[in-house]
Amino acid sequence: MSQSKVQLSWLDRLLPINILLAMVIGTLIGRYVPNAAVALNSGSIADVSLPIFIGLLWMMYPVLCKVKYESLYSLLSNRDAKKIIAFSLLINVVIAPLIMTGLAWATLPDLPHERTGVILVGAARCIAMVLIWNQLACGDSEWCAILVAVNAFVQLFLYGPVAYFLSVTIGGGGEGVQMVSMWLTVRSVLIFLGIPLAGGILTRWVLRFLCNKQSWYDNKFLPFIGPQALIGLLYTIIVMFILQGNEIITHIPNALRTAVPLLLYFAIMFFSTLAASLYITKSPFPIGVTQSFTAAGNNFELAIAVAVATYGMNSKEAFSAVIGPLIEVPVLLGLVYVARGLEGEYNRRLAVVLGEVDGRDVEQSGVTLQEGGVEVIGAFKTSQ
């Protein structure tokens, strides 16, 4: 059985309701308990609230414990590895930031500060929540880890120049973005990706190999630690809405307008990348899903840290950066269910594309017809 056939657990199926409740609870607390936001903001790491930092680690660590790091070498040695990575870089480094910039200008021409915040979000590629969405949509976990690591490495050197170019050179965002330093980016990536990634690698290697507990790790530890990622996600959402829910209610017109380019961006990037994965790179469904969520997601913790450090905590740029994850969470959760619903159609079309374009028998092209769809075999088959 392919990974895409795995059924959602009860916690996964209830996630939309739980996220809605988390958003409502967080907003109500932020609205009617004024001191709550002050208390949560009393400590910070890398310009991000300490409770948010805890939540990010809480939701990323369990997912990274599931990645089969020992199989990454064989994946990278595959002849299609360069194509997958190059396609991801093209989408995430070039196309996605330009599309967000265009949408920000088209929808926020009279709100320069909010527009700059949206552009900062578009330039920051996702290295955290994409792991959750990819897991729920049954994407390829190993390739997701690889692409996240590649995006993180690229952001170390390119986020500052790209943010400045799009916000100042093209966007006329003012002088503030000149102060975006490489250290802000390096610090954010090392903290928000480096810590949970190192924890996931060490946990897997120590428990599975050094302690020789492979069976216990796979059958006991992972089923226990896995649901913690979604609990961490719900906790993070509650904290985010406590911190910003009242601010959004107070400035609801600008918040709604800021949401417009973000909504368009998520939809455009997800569906266009999925279509390109099918018709251009001819990728199996799990990899197509991974590419799509990697393209649609954004590194909100980096964008918020840069906006706060550059423009100030109470700036409109920081406000727009915060709107990003509040819109992204429910939208990308919806896209998880869209992706699962499109699996059969994707696989049928992939079988046709491989048969017509490559001129080979579908089975020889790396797919096996099953129940009207295809199941990936060989190097790209994902684990349970």
Residue-by-residue DSSP string for 57-106 = HHHHHHHHHHS-GGGHHHHHHSTTHHHHHHHHHIIIIIIHHHHHHHHHHH
Report the C-alpha gap between 75 and 71 in whole angstroms: 6
97 forms beta bridges with: none
Secondary structure of residue 367 in the 3-state scheme: strand
For residue 143 the two structure tokens come to 């390739």
Residue burial 220-230, b: 16+ Cβ < 10 Å; e: rest: ebeeebbeebb
> By C-alpha distance, which of 305, 320, 311 is closest to 179?
311
For 10-350, give the CATH class. mainly alpha
What pLDDT sits at residue 104? 93
What pLDDT sits at residue 53? 86
- Cα dist. 3→7, 30, 221, 245 in Å? 9, 40, 19, 37
Report the C-alpha gap between 171 and 165 in whole angstroms: 8
For residue 367 the two structure tokens come to 């797919």
What pLDDT sits at residue 176? 46
What pLDDT sits at residue 14? 74
Q: Strand 44-45 vs strand 48-49: parallel, antiparallel, or unpaired? A: antiparallel
Which residues of the chain fall short of a pLDDT of 50? 1-5, 174-178, 357-384
For residue 253 the two structure tokens come to 């017109």
What pLDDT sits at residue 129? 77
What pLDDT sits at residue 194? 81
Secondary structure of residue 361 in the 3-state scheme: coil
Indicate the pTM of the whole model.
Answer: 0.75
What pLDDT sits at residue 124? 85
For residue 277 the two structure tokens come to 């994965």
The predicted-structure confidence for 202-245, as pLDDT tens digits, reads as follows: 998 888 877 777 888 888 888 888 888 888 888 988 988 888 77
